[in-house]
Chains A and B, each alone.
Chain A
Amino acid sequence: MRSDVGTERGRRGRSAFRRDQRVGLPDQPSLCATSTRLRGVSLAHIQVLDVHQEGDSPIHRRDARVKLVLTLAFIVAITALPAGAWLSYLLVLLAIGFVLGVSRISPALVLKRSLVAIPFAMSALTLIFTRQGTTVVAVELAQWTVSISYEGIVAFASILTKAWLSVLIATMLVTSTSFPDLVSAMRSLRVPKVLVSVISFMYRYIFIIADEALRLHRAREARSASPKGASQGSIIWKTRVLGGMIGSLFLRSYERSERIHAAMLSRGFDGDIRTMRSAELGPSDFMVIGACLIYLLTVLLVSRIQRGT
């Protein structure tokens, strides 16, 4: 009965075709510069969203609810740590390192992904100059004096570290947990149903919408040739076409949502999404949660003691 091996192969064949096209792109840089970028974006989307890595470690096997709760607990604790509590930061990092080791996920991969936080944390850079305290360097600029304070440097470095640690731990979560498991964990942790449904639908359809965007873009590329070979059309023309594409994408998504709604109604949907109850958490789950919470309390205590001395 299972005769879909052929289509499976066909699908792979198609993606290989897509790759071939990309390989072929550098030959015509003027026409394809934007398309490479767009294709990169949409492929990157799929990669960024599909960060989950299959694995069979104790971290992968642990119930998604436990992981979600602990991730949130770690992020709250990290946020609560005062500036300059370096020993506590180190303890958090050690814990993350331990989990990373047990999970057998490539550290380089997690490190790379965790760096997305850095640009956002950079917004705290002004603290170096604005925080009052012991002046480290003072620069005379005409009638102004720009001074860099020790307290400012500590505050900035702390924010940078804390942001990075938080993203690091969130990255660990999504790398070791599949998206459907995360969604059902949110559901059983009583995250509002509408919110969970929106997240779930978004994940299901973002790939399809990205594919549609890609097709629209290709259709535009296919019609934007010029006999002279170089021209790509004016910025205004491109903007107008882009506007049309966005509108068309919205309409398609809207129509799709109506068809999905009809499909849901056909299967008895009455406004309330019902799902299977998840299995009860076991004693080992509560032990893991307990142990981690005690560790986090210790980390917080250490930061207090460090500040006290």
Chain B
Amino acid sequence: MIELTYARAADADDAVRRAADGPGRYIGGGTNLVDLMRETVETPSALVDVTGLSREIAPTADGGLMIGAAARNTAVAEHEAVRSGYPMLARAIVAGASAQIRNMATVGGNLLQRTRCTYFYDTDGSRCNKRTPGEGCDAIEGFNRVHAILGTSAACVATHPSDMCVALAALDAVVHVRSVSGERTVQLCDLHRLPEDRPDIETVLEDGELITAVELPAPNRAECSTYRKVRDRSSYAFALVSVAAALELDGDSIVGARLALGGVAPKPWRARRAEELLHAQPATEDTFLRAADAELADARPLAGNAFKVDLARRTLAAVLQQLTEGARS
């Protein structure tokens, strides 16, 4: 039997002090960690409950929004300031999981959820470098239809499962982090690591560091933005490909674009190469497809997921076309 202690943190300071006392895991809504523990993918000996941290969603001095790490996914998606100022974020959140899970899941936990690669979960039968570094990866030569095409390594081809994070990447969100030695901030785009030869190290967070809030910059009201998710069924499934996109137009010319992809990479994939190619170009399908091609030029598809290259290309172009038509109407 695996012994497990539990303590409820009164606030962030209390949580980081408790975590510093020994090996343990922070737990939010539990929607991922409880499952991982049940499958013995994770076997923590101590849980520090951080659902008592701030769940406030409040405007910042520079016109942005500060979202407490314990805010539930539903609370963020239904918040008026999110729906009006950051529609791609509201849409990304409600594209994820089911209503029940969104009512439980916290913002901090969503950022740190782990891949749904089935080989990662299969503790009895499969090798996984994310679970056991150096063991090997059974996905690379296995059933890899849902796996990543960008940012992968010879050690790991798993995707990051979050929808919310894809929108946060496009929005240049900033993650506030605390530990016993103080506070710091990390750009959301820099929070998750690429796997390289250590896929078990998924973020730049140090042991005991706790996410306390996610900060959004002031919204650009001149932009149109949205989030589109493509999956095997129309609801309640992880993304094969998803696109978070914001487009600012001046007539038929693109002033600026912010793009991120989900379902195709080990981390929320900010598509900066495509963004650069769109800048000051005419908003046409040809432009959109060329930008998508540039972003996907480095794609390394596996035997089962080559379709994702074309799917990502067409979804990206379709979403930009949708935003262009929306801006004109």
Decide if A and B are genuine partners: no
Binding site for A on B (CB under 8 A): none
Binding site for B on A (CB under 8 A): none
